[in-house]
Amino acid sequence: MQRRFLSSVSVSAGGSKTLNNGRWSVKQVKKSNFKSTLDEIRTSIDSSDFVALSLQNTGSYAAAWHRISAIDTPQMSYLKAKYAAERYQILQFALCPFSLRGSKLTVHPYNFHLFPRDELKLGMPSYSFSCQASRLTAMAREGFDFNACIYEGISYLSREQESASKFLSGNPILAEPVAAPSSPSTVADTVFVGRIRSRVKNWRQSCLDSSSKTGDDDLVSSLRKLVLGSEQYGSRLCLTIDVCSERQVQLILEMLTEFADDVVPLLIASKSGGTQAVRAVFMSSKEDMDRFKRELQDLENEENRRLRGFREVVDLISSSQKPVVSQNYLSDFTSIHAKFLGPLPSNVDDFSSSLSSAFPNVVDLSQFMKEISPLSNISNLPAAMSSLNRFFAPVDVEVANQGCPIKLDESHQMHGQNAVMISQLFAKLSTIQKSDYQSSVQPSEDSYALASDQHASDENVQVWSKNSRRVSSENLVFIWGLAKKMTASTLKNVLQKSHNVFAQEFDVKLLDRSCAVVVFWQPSSSETFLSAVNNEDQLLGGSLRVMVAEGLRAAGYETYKRACRLGFWEADLADSLDKTLESSDTDLDSDTKPSEISWTSELAINFDEL
Amino acid sequence: MRRHKRWPLRPLASALARSRFCSSAAAAGAFPLKHVTRSNFEMTLNDLRSHVKAADFVAIDLEMTGVTSAPWRDSLEFDRYDVRYLKVKDSAEKFAVVQFGVCPFRWDSRTQSFVSHPHNFFVFPRQELTFDPPAHEFLCQTTSMDFLAKYQFDFNACIHEGISYLSRRQEEEASKRYDEESVDSVVETEDLKLVRLADLLFSERMKKRFNEWRSALLHGSSESPGISSGSTESAETVFYHMRPALSLQGFTSHQLRVIKLVLRKHFGDLVYIHTNDKSSCSKDFVVYTDSESDKENLMKEAKDERKRVAERKIQSAIGFRQVIDLLSSEKKLIVGHNCFLDIAHVYSKFVGPLPSTAEKFVASIHDHFPYIVDTKILLNVNPMLHQRMKKSSTSLSSAFSLLCPQIELSSRSSDSILQQRVKIDVEVDNVRCSNWNAGGKHEAGYDAFMTGCIFAQACSHLGFDFKHHSESENLAQNEKLDKYINRLYLSWTRGDIIDLRTSNSNAENWRVSNSKYENIVLIWNFPQKLKAREIKECICKALGSTSVTSVYHLDNTAVFVLFKNSELVSNFLKLKQQLESDDGPVRILHPLSKILKGGNTGAADYDAYKEICSSHISKILFADQAETVGVKSRTRPNPKGETSLETERRENMVAVTDKASDLIDAFLANRVDVKVARTN
């Protein structure tokens, strides 16, 4: 049934991209077979040299200018990627551990279906997420099965969420041993502790009694329980002490150290996150106490594992320390960080250091690709692959996953091909680059270097194209509020006639339909122009004056930067810049120094043709 | 076409109850429901037109991808009606409608029963137009998605096959944009200069070819005048609007621009024409014209054709809105269950952006839907029906099983009590059916059907006699319903009812609420783990033991504090500022220090809450939301959230507190107006 449905869709879409349909058999992992596949994945990762990954998200950017472009510094690119990573959801995580021996590429492809399930009803892993309608439509055209994803997707919690949920899952947890008495106690504290101490003493005595003499009447023992407030915890006796502040918890724990030989304190969390009660559990012997602590630990591990879900796999990759190859470093790893590690930090350096603690070796394939073949576009994997055909670099792919042959009735088998393509492309590139290497490509220092220098904190963007020129961000001016729609070249013509600052060489590029950026090649021209637009008195007349009267506005690069930093992600860049100028917020920015960006004239033309 | 979802573990019972894309009631026992996707939409729409025209009322129901974009966006105890409207507005703007149930009901005097036609439309905001509208994005709430999945919602049918739509506003914008584009295409080529060698060579080559083709045409050469070369580009001779033409294929857009330039420069009688046909596949022609007037005619024809194609495209992109337009133009009585959010969704998806205030919304909705009745209002406000509900829940399913047990169980027994109930038949694809198994809950089409049944039954309890009901009589104008029509629950939990009949202020509260909004202070970012009771104690210590009436949690990071009077509100805010600017021991010893500890605690009056709710940002925690909105909108400088010790700023803040009290005065004055409006 399903197959018919999907095939009819691809027919109606008029020959969709079925390039790789069933080319490799990719193991599809869902909720039902996740647990049983985990061990296999662990072995696959351990036996491989690299890990390739590829994500399928519910969106990439909400407006044209949110896309990372040539005028963005690393920090801005990061902010844009962060904004997207926080909004969109990962629906598929394709993972392909691989190794390369000579020309033989051994791959272990997996494709995980993910869906965030708010199992604790606490807004974790996510309360909500955004979807780009066009992206979902495109996925549908490729035969994506949304039902499988939503019904059977694996949930997860990030590392930070897991530690936050510890208290909230409702299971009692072992109290941390008390280090030292905290603060001087008040009279009220002393009274409170005294009261609780006598209660615990009585209860403990009764526990000792009942364990020694067994001939007690049922009625009597249950009455005693009632009077002392004693309860059962599993097979053990316990006493629950309700608390109304964290201070009281502290006091009780301190007091209970007196009974540390046979009483173990547990903390019971309340729904709102605080501690609701302390439960003292009576241990019949030393061995019993060890056993109890072990049981508790196992219970907690089991629970954590269940909540962690898919993150287990991310942890496996991370702990293996294998180099991770991805197609798009920034967007993939901001997503991974946001979903599986913790909230994204506000600047790119913190992000890099936080990420490298989890994934020390990351290879950005697009960067690698540019080194070998500068003009290729990585965003289309098959095209990138064929562009490398001029090099002789044979790669034989061998799928090493066992027991998952392609079944004809499972057309969704085609998902997750991208990760295999990435590993293949990587293999090709390495072979080309290291053609002097005779036998094998091992993770070497070279590939590490690749990973580490690509987001070096200096504000230089690498120049790959011969046509690009470096320009300081000071020389960029954003203009918006044009009376009518124009192409970049008409706008350039109009500007040329408007002010004598445009007598010198300059370039214009449209960033979206509302806003354009002007690049001055003379250092001080931008200031002249900005002050001309912003002080109407100085305008001597001419068409610039008319344009300003009609609503033309201009701002420097700093404003653009601030718009990103303050998070004014409006649909039109013009609105964002307007809002930024309105906001009086001028809190100090760490990177106020002008930054260099590469200006590619090719890019400028391409953009117009879009 | 019969398609089943791939959900192998689907319980048998529900599998029987729901059969996907089953267009007739053939499957034994399943509730007959017309599922509509884009493949059968046009056909169904025609049938629906006649059903709606004949209907006495139309019940609707919507399924959305979510309800609240943040936990605190839920309906809360202290939400004034304007705040509540802002929350509904936020929900309708952010989430998508994925299923739309429409069920027309018609009284059939022949069989003495209602005939209903339940339709279940799958809707998806697919972008059908090629130009660049603001990116279509919507939010999904994970719990809502889980809920939909629990009831086996078919996401594939929705995303793969859902019907798209344009709102009226979007339609206007789209046609405006097409007009602009057609103007653009004329001006565009002016500034192309041939600089690159490749361009020059290409233009020379084309010039030669066009020359050959033209002379072959004029001199009647027997040779086939098509141009073709080994490469992918080709040009063959065709006829365009009765004129000989070359159809260009395989050229890049840049090459086409060069061709245009060549034609304009060197060939007065050859015209470049660019067309888009229905399948949005563009074609380019070079057309020969034999005179200047012929050329003008051709240009005009081409322009008209472009316009026609554009209009057709927009027309087809309107999609599901045609159903809404139908309901609106027929002015039928619309029946929903607790349907304010539904109506807000309908407005924002199919009419245009939601107005900024409830008053403007009320003024505008009347033009589109003059008669709306909410069955939840009917069951709660009418004393007789309220009693009949026997204090049970007035949720859709429980109201349905209580009021219409005969339909739910589909029993046609001779039980005399059941006999008195209104008879309702279901007709799908001209097959009438009065016997089915219950099921399909939370399928929008079935929910709409249930809503309609409840309404029919409730009307009968109100004393309607459908048997003597004449065709011409409009249900919506019946005086028995007058009290209930066009009144919707703005907030069910608080019992706030919005009256769509009047355009002036209309927050009516049938259950009297004593909340005095000017007595409320909002506090956020206080030390974590501080509980409501402790906060109350702190403030009572500082401002007097009876100063605080109650403290209510918005979420873990924020509370509402209800003071006894509004003076205490400004006292509290002033005191907070003083303490924050004080470095001395008072700061530590003061009872409020417990709340202010950490230095990030923010506090503000009720208007700030409204401002925070009106922001389109939605942070999960209220404290984050308040900080984000507070930082970003300095239009109304606020006394909250600031811990800076600069003196100027402090002065500024004190001034603002006064301003806030002015606002309260203004609000009080406003309140008087509201009261007057009520008594009228």
**Same-domain status, A494 and A537:** yes
A1, A63, A127 ranked by CB distance to B141: nearest? A127
Nearest residue to B458 (alpha-carbon basis) of B506, B386, B535: B386
- In-domain check, residue A356: yes
Q: Give how far Cα A411 sits from Cα of A3, A4, A74, B136, Å.
A: 6, 10, 40, 29
Q: Is the pLDDT of residue B103 over 90?
A: yes
Residues 6+ apart with CB under 8 A from A486: A494
> Which residues between 522 and 561 in chain B have a beta carbon less than 8 angstroms from any beta carbon of chain A?
528-529, 531, 534, 556
**Same-domain status, A180 and A128:** no
**Same-domain status, A192 and A291:** yes
d(CA B69, CA B186): 46
Q: Is the pLDDT of residue B165 over 70?
A: yes
Task: Considering chain B, tell me which residue range(s) the CATH 3.30.70.330 domain(s) occupy.
Answer: 517-679
Contacts of A127 in chain B (CB under 8 A): 70-71, 141-142, 620
Do B155 and A273 make contact, defined as CB atoms within 8 angstroms? no
Residue B641 confidence (pLDDT): 40
CATH classification of the domain holding A353: 3.30.420.10
Mean pLDDT to the nearest integer, B674-680:
34
Coil, strand or helix: which one is B222? coil
Q: Is the pLDDT of residue B135 over 70?
A: no
Query: B215 and B223 in contact (C-beta within 8 Å)?
Result: no
d(CA B11, CA A508): 62
Q: Look at B247 and A149; give whichever has higher pLDDT.
A: A149
- In-domain check, residue A168: no
Peptide bond into A345 cis (omega under 30): no
d(CA A341, CA A323): 18
Query: B538 and B592 in contact (C-beta within 8 Å)?
Result: yes
Spell out the CATH class of B12-165+320-508.
alpha beta
Q: Is the pLDDT of residue B59 over 90?
A: yes
The single residue listed with the structure tokens 């001597």 is A540
Query: B370 and B330 in contact (C-beta within 8 Å)?
Result: no
Q: How far is B566 from chain A (nearest CA, A)?
A: 30
Residue B509 confidence (pLDDT): 45
Q: Give how far Cα B93 sits from Cα of A569, B69, B136, B525, Å.
A: 17, 10, 11, 28
**Same-domain status, A477 and A519:** yes
- In-domain check, residue A301: no
Tell how far CA B513 is from the center of its chain.
30
Coil, strand or helix: which one is B431? strand
**Same-domain status, A150 and A11:** yes
Do B628 and A609 make contact, defined as CB atoms within 8 angstroms? no
| Closest-CA residue of chain A to B128 | A134
Residue B31 confidence (pLDDT): 78
- In-domain check, residue A163: no
pLDDT in tens, B24-33: 333 446 678 8
Confidence of residue B345 (pLDDT cuts 50, 70, 90): very high
Nearest residue to A99 (alpha-carbon basis) of A315, A319, A325: A325
Q: Is the pLDDT of residue B152 over 90?
A: no
Structure tokens at A461: 């963007």
Write down which residue in A250, A265, A296 finishes a domain.
A296
Element (H, E) at B400: helix B396-403
**Terminal-residue alpha carbon distance, chain A:** 40
- In-domain check, residue A105: yes
Do A133 and B125 make contact, defined as CB atoms within 8 angstroms? yes
Mean pLDDT to the nearest integer, B385-408:
76
Mean pLDDT of chain B: 75
**Same-domain status, A62 and A142:** yes
Structure tokens at B385: 């029906």
The number of folded domains in chain A is 3
- A378-387, B487-496, B582-591, B637-646 — which is least confidently predicted? B637-646
- In-domain check, residue A166: no
**Same-domain status, A7 and A150:** yes
Confidence of residue B533 (pLDDT cuts 50, 70, 90): confident
**Segment-wise mean pLDDT, segments of 10 residues, chain A, 610 residues:** 36 33 73 88 89 89 80 84 90 89 84 84 81 87 87 85 67 66 72 84 78 61 66 75 78 80 78 72 80 82 80 89 87 90 88 88 81 67 73 72 49 69 83 55 39 37 44 81 76 79 80 84 80 69 75 84 83 84 59 54 35
For residue A223, with 0-12 CB atoms within 10 Å meaning exposed, 13-18 middle and 19 or more buried, which class applies? exposed
Q: How far is A116 from chain B (nearest CA, A)?
A: 7
Write down which residue in A451, A478, A509 finishes a domain.
A451
A224 is in which domain, residue-wise? 173-296
Q: Look at B159 and B413; give whichever has higher pLDDT.
A: B159
Q: What is the DSSP code (8-state) at residue B141?
A: E
Residue A228 confidence (pLDDT): 63
The single residue listed with the structure tokens 């290729």 is A376
**Same-domain status, A442 and A476:** no
Q: How far is B152 from chain A (nearest CA, A)?
A: 9
Mutate which: B123, B142, B631, B635, vs A, most A CBs within 10 A = B142
Residue B28 confidence (pLDDT): 43
Q: Is the pLDDT of residue B1 over 60?
A: no
d(CA B466, CA A317): 70
Nearest residue to B277 (alpha-carbon basis) of B244, B252, B247, B312: B312
- A117-121, A188-192, B51-55, B150-154 — which is least confidently predicted? A117-121
Q: Look at B233 and B269; give whichever has higher pLDDT.
A: B269
Residues 6+ apart with CB under 8 A from A54: A94, A96, A326, A327, A332, A416, A418, A419, A421, A422
Q: What is the DSSP code (8-state) at residue B128?
A: -
Residues 6+ apart with CB under 8 A from B240: B247, B273, B285, B287
Domain B517-679 fold is Alpha-Beta Plaits (3.30.70)
Q: SS3 sequence, A249-296?
A: HHHHHHHHHHHCCCEEEEEEECCCCCEEEEEEEECCCHHHHHHHHHHH
Residue B410 confidence (pLDDT): 54
Q: How far is A407 from chain B (nearest CA, A)?
A: 16
Task: Considering chain B, tell me which residue range(s) the CATH 3.30.420.10 domain(s) occupy.
Answer: 12-165+320-508
Do A566 and B631 make contact, defined as CB atoms within 8 angstroms? yes
Residue B102 confidence (pLDDT): 94
Using the Cβ of B126 and the Cβ atoms of chain A, whether some distance falls under 8 Å is answered with: yes
**Same-domain status, A578 and A523:** yes
Q: Look at A5 and B63; give whichever has higher pLDDT.
A: B63
A128, A272, A273 ranked by CB distance to B139: nearest? A128
Do A127 and B632 make contact, defined as CB atoms within 8 angstroms? no
Do A147 and B154 make contact, defined as CB atoms within 8 angstroms? yes
Mutate which: B69, B128, B155, B181, vs A, most A CBs within 10 A = B155
Nearest residue to B438 (alpha-carbon basis) of B430, B428, B448, B450: B450
Structure tokens at A430: 């390495």
Using the Cβ of B66 and the Cβ atoms of chain A, whether some distance falls under 8 Å is answered with: yes
Coil, strand or helix: which one is A591? coil
Structure tokens at B181: 């584009």
- In-domain check, residue A164: no
Nearest residue to B458 (alpha-carbon basis) of B477, B438, B480, B434: B480
- In-domain check, residue A431: yes
B3, B69, B159 ranked by CB distance to A136: nearest? B159
Do B159 and A513 make contact, defined as CB atoms within 8 angstroms? no
**Same-domain status, A132 and A59:** yes
**Same-domain status, A288 and A228:** yes
**Same-domain status, A109 and A235:** no
Write down which residue in A296, A323, A355 finishes a domain.
A296
Do A609 and B254 make contact, defined as CB atoms within 8 angstroms? yes
> Which residues between 2 and 61 in chain B have a beta carbon less than 8 angstroms from any beta carbon of chain A?
3-7
d(CA B342, CA B444): 11
Q: Count of CB contacts below 8 A, A vs B?
A: 139
- Max avg pLDDT among A30-44, A256-270, B224-238, B387-401: A30-44
Using the Cβ of B151 and the Cβ atoms of chain A, whether some distance falls under 8 Å is answered with: no
Q: Give how far Cα A172 sits from Cα of A166, A225, A458, Å.
A: 9, 21, 49
Coil, strand or helix: which one is B191? helix
Residue A365 confidence (pLDDT): 82
d(CA A267, CA A240): 10
Q: Give how far Cα A137 sits from Cα of A64, A196, B35, B321, B345, Å.
A: 18, 63, 20, 20, 22
pLDDT in tens, A440-454: 344 443 333 333 333
Do B184 and A485 make contact, defined as CB atoms within 8 angstroms? yes
Contacts of A115 in chain B (CB under 8 A): 145
Mean pLDDT of chain A: 74
SS3 content of chain A, % helix, strand, coil (to 5): 50, 20, 35
CATH classification of the domain holding A488: 3.30.70.330
Residues 6+ apart with CB under 8 A from A559: A478, A577, A580, A581
Coil, strand or helix: which one is B244? strand
